[in-house]
């Protein structure tokens, strides 16, 4: 998995926590914040934005990605996601596919518990050595995925 400096991790997690403050989630009451680290060092924040039609809802992860891509930034080094839940919550299926479109298979994805960095537990638990943060990647979250490169494959003549 690609590495991420501790300082970058901290900055990204802080940005995800800040992003969560702007969550618009009157229906689910499930606030989510996300922060994307672009390859040029820029951090782009996102929050879940719900809608009375429900189907118009967009998740924090996709908010951050769409904000970035629509401003011309398509190269990313890491993503952090935080909720108000005390455990690391993973991106939904839709977000996984959108992350797959723009992020490398091994790009670090940090799933951050709401009580970061206070999360503690048994010292032998690796997750708890990092404030309860679970580090994963889209390759792990969405194995055998479909991506843009598959559209370039030659078609069998019919």
Residue with tokens 């009580």: 115
Residue 92 lies near Zn ion (rule: CB under 5 A): yes
Question: Using an 8 Å Cβ cutoff, are 113 and 87 in contact?
Answer: yes
**Is 54 annotated to bind ligand?**
yes
Any catalytic annotation for residue 21? no
Question: Of 13, 95, 111, 142, which one interacts with Zn ion (CB under 5 A)?
Answer: 95
| Cβ proximity to Zn ion, 89 vs 95, nearer residue | 95
Torsion of CA 136, 63, 58, 113, to 10 degrees: 40
Torsion of CA 34, 38, 42, 47, to 10 degrees: -20
| Cβ proximity to Zn ion, 22 vs 128, nearer residue | 22
The residue of the chain with the least Cβ separation from Zn ion equals: 59
- Continuous segment of H or E residues that includes residue 100: helix 93-102
Residue 34 lies near Zn ion (rule: CB under 5 A): no
Residue 111 lies near Zn ion (rule: CB under 5 A): no
Question: Considering only CA atoms, which of 85, 91, 104, 39 is closest in space to residue 63?
Answer: 91
* Number of residues engaging Zn ion in binding (CB under 5 A): 3
Residue 47 lies near Zn ion (rule: CB under 5 A): no
Q: Using CB under 5 A, which of the segments 59-67, 76-84, 140-148, 149-157 binds Zn ion?
A: 59-67
Active-site entry in 61, 124, 140, 149: 61
DSSP one-letter string for 5-72: -HHHHHHHHHHHHHHHTT-B-TTT---EEEEEEETTS-EEEEE-B--TTSTT-B-HHHHHHHHHHHTT
Annotated binding-site positions for substrate: 48-54
Q: Interface residues with Zn ion (CB under 5 A)? A: 59, 92, 95
Annotated binding-site positions: 48-54, 59, 92, 95
- The residues annotated as belonging to the active site are 61
Annotated binding-site positions for Zn(2+): 59, 92, 95
């Amino acid at each position: 998995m690609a590495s991420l400096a501790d300082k970058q991790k901290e900055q990204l997690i802080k940005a995800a926590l800040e992003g969560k403050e702007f969550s618009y989630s009157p229906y689910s009451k499930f606030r989510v914040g996300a922060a994307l680290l672009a390859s040029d060092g820029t951090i782009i924040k996102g929050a879940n934005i719900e809608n009375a039609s429900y189907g118009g809802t967009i998740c924090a992860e996709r908010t951050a990605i769409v904000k970035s891509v629509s401003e011309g930034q398509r190269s990313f080094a890491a993503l952090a996601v935080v909720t108000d839940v005390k455990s690391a919550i993973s991106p939904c299926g839709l977000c996984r596919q959108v992350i797959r479109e723009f992020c490398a298979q091994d790009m670090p994805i940090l799933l951050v518990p709401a009580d970061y960095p206070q999360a503690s537990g048994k010292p032998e638990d690796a997750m708890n050595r990092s404030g309860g943060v679970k580090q994963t990647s889209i390759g792990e979250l969405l194995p055998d995925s479909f991506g843009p490169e598959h559209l370039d494959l030659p078609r069998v003549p019919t």
